Each structure stands twice: as structure tokens, then as C-alpha cells.
Structure 1
């Protein structure tokens, strides 16, 4: 089967930790043909179908020169490959949004796309938790600085973050003294022009911001706890957090089993839930990661579980 990965440029991959690479490696081991393109290579014109300039490639097994291209890139319809895997990293900006519309048109033409483009649009990673208030901590979404001040006055120790950030970018903590609250709010909300999320600080972050993976609606039995280091408040691996694989707790499993069937039914084959303590904090659907860290530390082959689920979805 031919699998098209829509992703960042292959030359940018850090294969020692990249989840998309682990998917590719497992798929290739099963005999699937690998194709790649970037979102900018996807196009549509009247009278035709959604197509992309696709590059076939082969994994070499070498840590540095990890792939070789097979011939020249070719413009081909997305509906003609076995599956399209949308693995472009955030941010979810206007171009990502437009790409989901092109991919949805490709679905109408017969392409099989994972995660489903409409589901990607319908589940912005910060805001998707609003549908499940019983699983989250105190949370505010607003543009208004007065709302932020009132939330801080009630909860005293808060986290502020932009809605389009990734990897811990733009996350601020404001403690009881309220130091720099006004300046931080202005930085994030652009004087009322942009919406921000504010959440009560959860001290359980010291034990890690847990990434729980759902594949085909079922939880992987281990989470990846991203533990802040030193004086850092962010556990994100991109912000220097330490990743430690842990068995799911009873609460982790409760959250996963509540959300898994709901999200899978909407076309989300792979989801990353972020949980701090007992609280759901984000639902990641664009390009969830953590496969390699969990596999290396526990022996549980996450990529194998994913490709199993992908093949099952295609056969259904």
C-alpha cells in the first residue's frame, strides 16, 4: 500500500525522537510504500481533483542520511494512494486551516485521510477541552483583561497561554503577588485583539504533564510524563522537560476511556491527551508525539499499535 505523509520537510526530521519517522519505519517494515510532501505541495484546479507533488522515498537505516529519494517527485491525485497521513506540526495557522479544506475535498473524491480534516478543524488543541468541563480544572477563555484579573483574584496562582502555541511557547505563570499580570496579558491578548486561555496552576505539574495517546479510541497503556526541570514551569520536551514513561493511573484511564470512543467516532485515529494531576488540559490532534520515548522506556511498540489501527481503519 502507498502511504502519503504530509509533513514538514524530511531534512528537518530528528529521527532519534520523531513520531512520524517511527510510523514510517513500521509501515516500511510491513512492505508499505512511503511517499511524502509538504502542505504547500497540495493543490486543486477546476476540472481536476486534489493532487500533490509527491516524493517516493526509501528508509536507509542510517542515522544521518536516513532516507533516499526514489526518482523524481510526481504530481498525483490523493485519492490514488492508500492513505494520507496529515502530520504537519503546529501551529494551526491559516495555511493549516486551508490545507484541511483541500484534504476534505480529497476525501469527497475518495481519499482516505487521517486524522480526518474536519475533525482537525473541529478540535483546536487548546479549546477542544471546553466540551468536557467535568474533566478539566478551572479555565477561562477570553480577550478581556478584566476577566483575566478577576480569574487571578479568585485563583491566585494561574497559567496564561496563547491558543496557537506549541511546545510550551508563550506560557506564563503568575503567582499570588500578581507580578507582571497586566504586561503578560497585554503581550498575549494584544490589547484585546487576541483570545487567550487562563487556567488555575496545578501543582501536580511537578510530577509531570502527562501525554496519554489514544489510537483508534483505545489508550496506550503508558503515558509520557513531561517533567519540568530546574526553575522551569513548563514540562514540554521542547522547553527542556524530561520525558518519563509511566503506567496509566486509574484517573488517566478514566479520562482516556471517556474521550476515546467519542473522538474516534469523529475520525480522530490518533489523539494526544495532556493531563496534569487529575485534570485534562489539552486535546492534541494535529501531530501528537511521544511514540519513541514510550517504546524505548517500556518496550511497548506504539508505532506497531498505530499501524495496526491504520490498517484496520482502511479495511473497515
Structure 2
């Protein structure tokens, strides 16, 4: 395949824990032609998307693998339609710049994964309510007083308060109406003064036993791990210091993950990560599904190759 990866600035990436780089390395190993570009280097001209790209023969096992710029070829300007697939890998926030990128990629005239329309349509925090039986109690809005009134229905109940467009535990807090000042402050920060979407999700004490991260391509379960928060924190994000370990999925967990994977693939988003706490789905990540280096470590596997095989099947099926 000819693959173009839209990626975050190289200096922001950590090669030892970056799924995008792992996929690029595996694609190069199997003989694919890999290039990268950046959101700011995308352009639409006469209804067709173009990009300033660099060939990227990156190999994770190379002696200079940590020096990402050493793998860059010279810059060239070309139509994205020249590629079999464009992988969209920038991290959130899903803000106006992110949305602008999706509008440009609408004009790519090739297979885009995950699809721009899916990135706009599927909110990672609210889509879980399509499966209410598998989701903790959740509500969302953007007005501080309206959200606080919801919390006041049970003043002692703990909620996780999180923004609708962030990732890696950014701006996520825990609060209850009984602690009025702290809860209102968390809501103001999360909604940026009542101007952005915020989610209230019932706090699940089971997070002390871990937050499972499950990676899928469509209905195919690739791998999973259990993330354990650091003492004194409830956020099980590896970027925040959470430990990770091998895990098994129950029959019910596997079933709901396959259902969610199938739904996302139908919407044009075959690459998916699902977060599970105590058997409940808390988030469905489609913007830049990650965690493969860590899942590889706990399973002593190399799942990036299976991801590319399934991705190629998906691309071929859409030609």
C-alpha cells in the first residue's frame, strides 16, 4: 500500500510509546510506501486535497530510531489521491483547527482512516450512550448552572467531570454537589466558562482495580491491557503515570466491544480503542487510537502487523 500519515509534530512524539510510529515502522518492514504530513501542511485546490509530504522510511529497530527527523525525505507537494489510504493520527483537542483538517480531508478522493465525517460525528465521550445498558449514568451540556443542577439531584453522589474534546485525562476532575465551590470551579474550567461541552459521568469505584483499554479494527479485537491509576488519582492514563498489565475480557465485555467496533467501522472509523471500567464502557477513542506499544509489552506480541493486515482488508473492500 501507499500510506500517508497525517501526524502531530515529530518533536511532540515519544517513539517508545507512540502507536503511529509503530504502524509506520511495520508498514516499512512489509514494503509499503510510507509518507507523513502535518495538519498545517494540508490544502484544498479546485476541490482536491493536497499535502506537503515527506517520505518516511522510519524503522523502529534502526540505530537512529530516536532521531525521527533523520528518517525524513525531502518535502514534496502532491495530491492525497495518489495514496491508497490516508491515516489521520493527530491527537485532540477536537477544536476548530482539528475540524478544519477534517474539512480538507473530505476532499482527499481516497480512503481516509478514520474518516473525516466519523471524526466529526462520533464524540468519544458521548457516543457511549448508544449502548445505555453498558454505560455508566451520563449526561452532558455546556451551561455551568444546568450541569450543577443535575449534580444536585443527589448531593453526595460523585461524578467524573470531563471536557468533550480532550484526551489523556486533560482537565478531568471528580466532584459532587455537596462540595459546591469545588464542583462549580471544576465545571467552569471544564466548560471554559460555559462555552464548551462537558460530560458528567457517574464515578465508578471499580477504577481502583483498573481501566481496561481495548484496541479493535472493526469487529476484530486486536489486544487489550489494564491500566492502574497511581495512588491518590482516579485517572488511569499512562501519560499521567498509570501502570499497565495484562488483562482478560469477559464474554460480555468482548461482545459489547465487538458491537461498538462494528458500529464505528460502519461510520468510517475502523480503528477504535474502547475504555472499560468495571465492565462499563466509559469512552470510545477514534481520533488517534493508541496503546499498542504497551499492549505489545504485556502480551509479548507485535500487534501492529495484524492492524495493518486488517486495515488493508478494509481499504481494499472500499475500492
The answer, yes or no, to whether TM exceeds 0.5 is yes
Q: In the aligned structure 2, how far is the partner of 1:67 from the partner of 1:136?
A: 42
Q: Secondary structure at the match of 1:53?
A: strand
The answer for the alignment partner of 1:196 in structure 2 is: 198
1:24-63 matched pairs, under 5 angstroms: 24-46=24-46, 49-60=48-59, 61-62=62-63, 63=65
Q: How many residues are paired up?
A: 311
Give 1:26 deviation, angstroms: 0.9
CA contact (8 A) 1:58 1:68 kept: no
Deviations 1:62-115 (A, max 9, x none): 242256346421000000112111111111111111111111111xx3x11111
Is there any run of 5+ residues in structure 2 with no aligned partner, and where?
none
Give 1:232 deviation, angstroms: 1.0
Q: In the aligned structure 2, how far is the partner of 1:226 from the partner of 1:139?
A: 22
1:141-290 matched pairs, under 5 angstroms: 141-144=140-143, 145-154=145-154, 156-175=157-176, 177-178=178-179, 180-220=182-222, 222-290=223-291
Stretches (4+) displaced over 4 A: none
Give 1:137 deviation, angstroms: 0.8
The answer for the alignment partner of 2:17 in structure 1 is: 17
The answer for the alignment partner of 1:95 in structure 2 is: 97
| CA shift in 2, pair 1:143/1:309, >3 Å | same
Out of 56-65 and 263-272, give the one that drifted further.
56-65
Give 1:267 deviation, angstroms: 1.4
| CA shift in 2, pair 1:84/1:153, >3 Å | same
CA contact (8 A) 1:9 1:37 kept: no
Give 1:176 deviation, angstroms: 7.4
CA contact (8 A) 2:148 2:184 kept: no
Give 1:231 deviation, angstroms: 0.5
Q: Does 2:132 match 1:130?
A: no
Q: Secondary structure at the match of 1:247?
A: coil
Is there any run of 5+ residues in structure 1 with no aligned partner, and where?
none
**Cα RMSD (Å):** 1.9
CA contact (8 A) 1:217 1:263 kept: no
Q: In the aligned structure 1, how far is the partner of 2:81 from the partner of 2:285?
A: 26
The answer for the alignment partner of 2:81 in structure 1 is: 79
Q: In the aligned structure 2, how far is the partner of 1:69 from the partner of 1:150?
A: 52
| CA shift in 2, pair 1:182/1:10, >3 Å | closer
Q: In the aligned structure 1, how far is the partner of 2:186 from the partner of 2:265?
A: 37
CA contact (8 A) 1:271 1:285 kept: yes
Q: In the aligned structure 2, how far is the partner of 1:176 from the partner of 1:182?
A: 8
Q: In the aligned structure 1, how far is the partner of 2:267 from the partner of 2:50?
A: 24
Give 1:254 deviation, angstroms: 2.1
CA contact (8 A) 1:5 1:37 kept: yes
Deviations 1:92-147 (A, max 9, x none): 111111111111111xx3x1111111111111211222322222111111234244
Give 1:277 deviation, angstroms: 0.7
Using the size of structure 2 for normalisation, the TM-score is: 0.91
Q: Secondary structure at the match of 2:16?
A: coil
Q: In the aligned structure 2, how far is the partner of 1:189 from the partner of 1:69?
A: 40
CA contact (8 A) 1:210 1:225 kept: yes
Using the size of structure 1 for normalisation, the TM-score is: 0.92
